[in-house]
Amino acid sequence: MREILWLLKNYYHVLLFILLEVLALSLLSRHNAYQHSKLVNLNREIAGTLYKNIEGAREYLYLRKNNEILVKENTRLRNRISEIENQHPATSPTFQKKGSYLYTTARVVHSTHFKQYNYITIDKGRKHGIRRDMAVIGEEGIVGIVLESSANFSTVLPVINRDFRLSVRLKNNNYVGIILWDGQSPEFAILNEIPQHAEISGGDTIITSGYSAIFPEGRFVGTIEEFEMQEGNFYRIKVELGTNFFSLFYVNVISNFNQQEQHEIESRLEQ
């Protein structure tokens, strides 16, 4: 109460001025249609801007939840496609190449971006069916490979790790190479082993080759940013990665039901 009296005593002239201005505007708008319409429009503009900002803040607060819903829906659709391919292999020309896969949604709980050996931690582990050497993808491209799993968490070796290697191919001509990270920008990787007689150009799409038992064939990796000749009759190709690791919150972990069988038969040939 004392603070209110102090405020009235020291700022009564300002408060009186504001009160008189409001009264004058009220009388002016009440008896003049033009001024009334202007004040109504101004009120609408102020209210509209306020509501827009409030709604934007509300959408931002619910953005994480909405993203989670979308990721789970995409996971459900991917699993449904895999079921159809599994049930009707004769009508699915890509079935023999893709095998049968199960997609599990996981949330990124920790990640690094500026180290030479970056890693990602996700909130799914062994009790969710996640194990070593499973593929991890995002909505925009490949993410990495599961390295280790505990009961409830897993560590992922991402593309932006110096130890990462994956067989990929050029979508337009099917030439196969190896993609790796040079420890520079988290936005780019390097594609090697593409021969110089291959026709390539900036913007060409890079996808997974399907040669490993980890990633399904045809998953988006990135696009060619630039390339140059190097010794040994091969290109050195700079690839802009499809995945933005700075805004990666949800991923899909891919289980290949035929992975063990493929590993076993390949290991016999290596003996």
Domains observed in the chain: 100-271 (2.40.10.340)
Residues 191 and 178: beta-carbon distance below 8 Å: yes
DSSP code of residue 175: -
Give the rounded percent of residues in the chain with a pLDDT score beyond 90.
Answer: 49
CA-angle at 107, arms to 101 and 109, nearest 5°: 135
With contact defined as beta carbons under 8 Å apart, do 67 and 60 qualify?
no
Convert the pLDDT of each residue in 161-216 to its tens digit.
999 999 999 999 999 999 999 999 999 999 999 999 999 999 999 999 988 889 99
Phi-psi region of 133 (alpha: psi -120 to 50; beta: other; left: phi over 0): left
What distance in Å separates the CA atoms of residue 224 and residue 124, rounded to the nearest whole number?
Answer: 33
- CA-closest candidate to residue 188, choices 199, 179, 175: 179
Q: Which of 66-70, 136-140, 186-190 has the lowest mean pLDDT?
A: 66-70
Which tens digits make up the pLDDT trace of 216-251?
999 999 999 999 988 778 999 999 999 999 988 889
**Polymer length of the chain:** 271
Residue 60 predicted with pLDDT over 90: no
Is the pLDDT at 95 greater than 50? The verdict is no
Alpha carbon distances (Å) from 89 to 85, 100, 103? 5, 10, 19
Amino acid 112 reads T
Give the C-alpha separation, 201 to 172, whole Å: 10
Q: Are 129 and 213 within 8 A, CB to CB?
A: no
Whole-model pTM above 0.85?
no
Q: Would you state the pLDDT for residue 7?
A: 60
DSSP string covering 178-237:
EEE--SS-TTEEEEEEEETTS---TT-EEEE-S-SSSSPTT-EEEEEEEEEEETTTEEEE
The three-class DSSP label of residue 19 is helix
SS3 for 176? Answer: strand
Up-side HSE of residue 235: CA atoms within 13 Å toward CB? Answer: 25
